């Protein structure tokens, strides 16, 4: 299959930044890329912070920052990109980095690009002028490091005592949660790649293969279509399927096992997230089928509840109501879903669901004493008229699963 040319445009990144600048009114703000080196991260993972990537599309730029300075007299200086200085020794290892020239401005959409040693002066001047500093990075819980922009703002306030710090941490999550047409195209492409992975798995699975074999089969299908695994695959057979974050993937699949497969692709920086539960020998036992169909009804109930104005609590209650009525409330151990986008577990803004949001629906039942785990996870788009199922092409009913496995 030919890989389509899908990407977020430089123009869209610039429009996102302009929207942030307008929303800040007169307050200055800072979004930092983070300090992790590429060599410290798993292969294929994004180096920069999700907020920075959302606003710039730039990766492998540790130490970088975007400064929003609405009170700057020069309009070209109201949004500025700061990149760390070039280092010839470092570039021998990590590759040559671009100079600060007009071609870099055209490539990034920034009219003002400087090196990070200039940031303290520019940020302090902005604080002195506006006296308002807006936190955009999410606040950390009390036992974690203080969020990066708040850390810097507290230092500035020691030196500019008239400056005040504001909470604007919901601004970017609210923007990110509602996907643009270009973002939806990338998520839908990630789903299409994931469909190919599950098709490969449905044809491959049989007693005697290992969990790792299944994961490898799926991720190879992803790579063949230009995608990558959005996260480390979970393939848990038998009792392993009752372990929510099972990661070993090293057991042999046995006849009669159910296999919980939580594996999905990312494409162009956007993720999908899908789980299916499949019978190792291609046929559900009567008990497995009964339990599976309870989870499926819960999945469908929560999906139907996913409409504009609903909350995740509404979705949780819809799924839990089905499972509780069947007598398995204590065996549903986790939340019903989450937002998905730049990150698999994407940022979650306050407030109800709105059109343009993409989220997962993933109820489950886990019975360790029986060696049975069942989870069914789909990706849906919230529209004005209700939920749109993005992962409908991946077999989900008992009949569709058994037919697909028999065809393999």
Domain CATH code at residue 272: 3.90.230.10
Indicate the number of domains in the chain: 2
Buried b (16+ CB within 10 A) or exposed e, 316-336: bbbbbbbbeebebeebbeeeb
In a domain, 202, yes or no: yes
Domain with 373 in it: 178-407
Task: State how far Cα 281 lies from the chain centre.
Answer: 33
CATH code, 20: 3.40.350.10
Please give the structure tokens belonging to residue 331: 């065996």
On whether the pTM is more than 0.75, the answer is yes
Same domain, 132 and 69: yes
Is residue 199 located within the same domain as residue 283? yes
Residue 4 lies in a domain: no
pLDDT computed for residue 3 by the predictor: 45
Could you tell me if residue 386 is inside a domain? Answer: yes
On whether both 237 and 105 belong to a single domain, the answer is no
230 lies in some domain: yes
Query: Are residues 272 and 214 part of one domain?
Result: yes
Last residue of a domain, one of 130, 158, 176: 176
Choosing from 118, 149, 176, the residue where a domain stops is 176
| Residues 266, 207 share a domain | yes
353 plus 403 within the same structural domain: yes
Please indicate, yes or no, whether residues 234 and 373 belong to a single structural domain of this protein. yes
> Residue 1 has what pLDDT?
38
| pLDDT of the residue at 321 | 98
For residue 216, being part of any structural domain is answered with yes
Residue 8: its pLDDT value, please?
Answer: 96
Do residues 140 and 184 share a domain? Answer: no
The verdict on residue 389 lying in a domain is yes
> Is residue 38 a part of any domain in this protein?
yes
380 with 400, same domain: the answer is yes
Q: Does 208 share its domain with 169?
A: no
Residue 172 shares a structural domain with residue 183? no
pLDDT (tens place) for every residue of the chain, 408 residues total: 344 478 999 999 999 999 999 999 999 999 999 987 655 545 556 678 999 999 999 988 999 999 999 999 999 999 999 999 999 998 898 889 999 999 999 999 999 999 999 999 999 999 999 999 999 999 999 999 999 999 999 999 999 999 999 999 999 999 999 999 999 999 999 999 999 999 999 999 999 999 999 999 999 999 999 999 999 999 999 999 999 999 999 999 999 999 999 999 999 999 999 999 999 999 999 999 999 999 999 999 999 999 999 999 999 999 999 999 999 999 999 999 999 999 999 999 999 999 999 999 999 999 999 999 999 999 999 999 999 999 999 999 999 999 999 997
Kindly state whether residues 169 and 236 are assigned to the same domain: no
Q: Which of 126, 150, 176 is the last residue of a domain?
A: 176
- Flag whether 2 is in a domain: no
């Amino acid at each position: 299959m030919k890989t389509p040319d899908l990407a977020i445009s430089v123009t869209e990144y610039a429009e996102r930044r302009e929207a942030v600048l307008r929303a800040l009114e007169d307050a200055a703000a800072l979004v930092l890329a983070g300090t992790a080196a590429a060599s410290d991260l798993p292969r294929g993972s994004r180096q920069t912070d999700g907020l920075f990537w959302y606003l710039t599309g730039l990766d492998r730029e540790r130490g970088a920052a975007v400064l929003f300075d609405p009170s700057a007299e020069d309009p070209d200086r109201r949004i500025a990109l700061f990149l760390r200085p070039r280092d010839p020794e470092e570039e021998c290892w990590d590759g040559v980095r671009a100079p600060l020239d007009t071609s870099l401005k055209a490539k990034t959409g920034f009219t003002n690009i400087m090196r990070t040693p200039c940031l303290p002066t520019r940020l302090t001047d902005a604080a002195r002028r506006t006296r308002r500093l807006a936190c955009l990075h999410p606040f950390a819980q009390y036992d974690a490091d203080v969020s990066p922009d708040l850390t810097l703002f507290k230092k500035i306030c020691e030196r500019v005592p008239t400056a005040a710090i504001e909470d604007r941490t919901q601004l970017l999550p609210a923007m990110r949660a509602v996907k643009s047409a270009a973002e939806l195209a990338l998520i839908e492409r990630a789903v299409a790649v994931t469909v190919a992975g599950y098709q490969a798995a449905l044809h491959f699975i049989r007693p005697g293969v290992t969990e790792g074999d299944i994961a490898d089969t799926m991720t190879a299908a992803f790579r063949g279509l230009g995608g990558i695994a959005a996260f480390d695959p979970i393939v848990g057979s038998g009792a392993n399927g009752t372990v929510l974050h099972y990661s070993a993937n090293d057991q042999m699949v046995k006849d009669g096992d159910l296999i919980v497969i939580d594996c999905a692709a990312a494409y162009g920086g956007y993720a999908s997230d899908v789980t299916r539960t499949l019978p190792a020998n291609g046929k559900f036992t009567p008990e497995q089928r009964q339990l599976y169909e309870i989870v499926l009804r819960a999945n469908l109930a929560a999906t139907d509840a996913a409409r504009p104005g609903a909350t995740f609590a509404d979705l949780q209650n819809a799924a839990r109501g089905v499972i509780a009525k069947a007598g398995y409330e204590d065996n549903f151990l986790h939340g019903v879903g989450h937002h998905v986008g730049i990150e698999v577990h994407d940022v979650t803004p306050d407030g109800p669901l709105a059109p343009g949001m993409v989220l997962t629906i993933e109820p489950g039942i886990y019975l360790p004493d029986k060696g049975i785990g069942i989870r069914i996870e789909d990706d849906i788009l919230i529209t004005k008229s209700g939920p749109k199922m993005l992962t409908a092409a991946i077999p989900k009913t008992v009949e569709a699963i058994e037919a697909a496995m028999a065809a393999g």
